Structure 1
Amino acid sequence: MTSFSTPVFAAAKTDSAFDDLTASLGDVRPHPTEDALVHLGRALMTELVDVICGTALEDFQVLLGEALIGAFHSAAGRIERDADRARDAMRALDRDFDGSEAADTELQEATSRARAGDVATRAAELIRDAASEAWTVATGEVWTAWRGSRRGTHLTAAQLEAKQAIRAIRSRRAGEADPGGPVIAFRGAPAADSAEDAGRIFDALNWAKAEWPDMALATTGAKGSEKLAIKWAQQKGVKLILARADFDAHGKAAPFRANDELIALEPEVCLTLAHSVAEERMDHRPFGPALNLGQKAMENGLRHLSIKARAA
Structure 2
Amino acid sequence: MQTFNTPAFFQKSDSAFDDLTGALGDPRPHPSETALEQLGRALMTELLDVIADTALEDYQTILGEALIGAFHSAAGRIERDADRARDAMRALDRNFDGSEAADTELQEATAKARAGDAATRACELIRDAASQTWTVSTGEVWTAWRGSRRGTHLTAAQLEAKQAIRAIRSRRAGEATPDGPVVAFRGAPSADTAVDAGRIFDALNWAKQEWPGMALATTGAKGAEKLAIKWAQQKGVTLILARADFDAHGKAAPFRANDDLIALEPSCCLTLVQSVDRERASDPRPFGPALNLGQKALAQGLRHVPIRARST
Q: Deviations over 1:91-145 (max 9, x none)?
A: 1111111111111111111111111000000000000000000000111000000
Structure 1 stretches (4+) deviating beyond 6 angstroms? none
Question: For the residues of structure 1 that align with 2:224 and 2:257, how far apart are their CA atoms?
Answer: 16
1:231, CA displacement in angstroms?
0.2
Question: For the residues of structure 1 that align with 2:176 and 2:224, how far apart are their CA atoms?
Answer: 32
2:171 aligned partner: 172
2:233 aligned partner: 234
Question: For the residues of structure 2 that align with 1:292 and 1:162, how far apart are their CA atoms?
Answer: 18
2:123 aligned partner: 124
Structure ranking higher on relative contact order (CA contacts 8 Å, 6+ apart): 1
Q: Work out the number of aligned pairs and report it.
A: 299
Question: For the residues of structure 2 that align with 1:148 and 1:178, how far apart are their CA atoms?
Answer: 18
Question: For the residues of structure 1 that align with 2:208 and 2:19, how far apart are their CA atoms?
Answer: 31
TM-score by length of 1: 0.94
Q: Quick check: 1:186–1:219 contact (8 Å CA) kept in 2?
A: yes
> What letter matches 2:286 in structure 1?
P
Q: Deviations over 1:178-225 (max 9, x none)?
A: 423200000000011011111110010011011111111000000000
2:191 aligned partner: 192
1:151 aligned partner: 150
1:8 aligned partner: none
Q: Quick check: 1:165–1:179 contact (8 Å CA) kept in 2?
A: no
Q: Deviations over 1:125-172 (max 9, x none)?
A: 000000000000111000000001110112211101111111111122
Query: What stretches of structure 2 of length at least 5 have no aligned partner?
Result: 1-12
Q: Quick check: 1:218–1:243 contact (8 Å CA) kept in 2?
A: yes
1:84 aligned partner: 83
Question: For the residues of structure 1 that align with 2:175 and 2:102, how far apart are their CA atoms?
Answer: 35
SS in 2 for 1:286: coil
Question: For the residues of structure 2 that align with 1:235 and 1:82, how far apart are their CA atoms?
Answer: 31
Q: Quick check: 1:189–1:290 contact (8 Å CA) kept in 2?
A: yes
The change in CA–CA distance for 1:230 and 1:15 in structure 2 (over 3 A counts) is farther
> What letter matches 1:242 in structure 2?
L
TM-score by length of 2: 0.94
Question: For the residues of structure 2 that align with 1:222 and 1:299, how far apart are their CA atoms?
Answer: 24
SS in 2 for 1:27: coil
1:249, CA displacement in angstroms?
0.9
SS in 2 for 1:234: helix
SS in 1 for 2:92: helix
Q: Quick check: 1:294–1:304 contact (8 Å CA) kept in 2?
A: yes
> Identity rate of aligned residues, in percent?
83
C-alpha RMSD of matched pairs (Å): 1.1
Question: For the residues of structure 2 that align with 1:94 and 1:117, how far apart are their CA atoms?
Answer: 19
> What letter matches 1:223 in structure 2?
K
SS in 2 for 1:69: helix
> What letter matches 1:32 in structure 2?
P
Question: For the residues of structure 2 that align with 1:55 and 1:149, how far apart are their CA atoms?
Answer: 34
Question: For the residues of structure 1 that align with 2:14 and 2:311, how far apart are their CA atoms?
Answer: 42
> What letter matches 2:191 in structure 1?
A
1:52, CA displacement in angstroms?
1.1
The change in CA–CA distance for 1:144 and 1:269 in structure 2 (over 3 A counts) is same
1:97 aligned partner: 96
> What letter matches 2:311 in structure 1?
A
| Greater Cα shift, 48-57 or 254-263 | 48-57
1:15, CA displacement in angstroms?
4.9
1:288 aligned partner: 288
| Greater Cα shift, 158-167 or 171-180 | 171-180
Q: Quick check: 1:157–1:238 contact (8 Å CA) kept in 2?
A: yes
Question: For the residues of structure 2 that align with 1:15 and 1:180, how far apart are their CA atoms?
Answer: 30
SS in 2 for 1:180: coil
| Greater Cα shift, 253-262 or 282-291 | 282-291
SS in 1 for 2:227: helix
SS in 2 for 1:223: coil
Q: Quick check: 1:275–1:282 contact (8 Å CA) kept in 2?
A: no
Question: For the residues of structure 2 that align with 1:115 and 1:250, how far apart are their CA atoms?
Answer: 42
Question: For the residues of structure 1 that align with 2:309 and 2:158, how far apart are their CA atoms?
Answer: 30
Q: Deviations over 1:6-32 (max 9, x none)?
A: xxxxxxxx9510000001100000000
2:310 aligned partner: 310
2:301 aligned partner: 301
2:132 aligned partner: 133
1:16 aligned partner: 15
Question: For the residues of structure 2 that align with 1:112 and 1:106, how far apart are their CA atoms?
Answer: 10
Query: What stretches of structure 1 of length at least 5 have no aligned partner?
Result: 1-13
> What letter matches 1:305 in structure 2?
V
Q: Quick check: 1:130–1:155 contact (8 Å CA) kept in 2?
A: no
Question: For the residues of structure 1 that align with 2:273 and 2:159, how far apart are their CA atoms?
Answer: 25
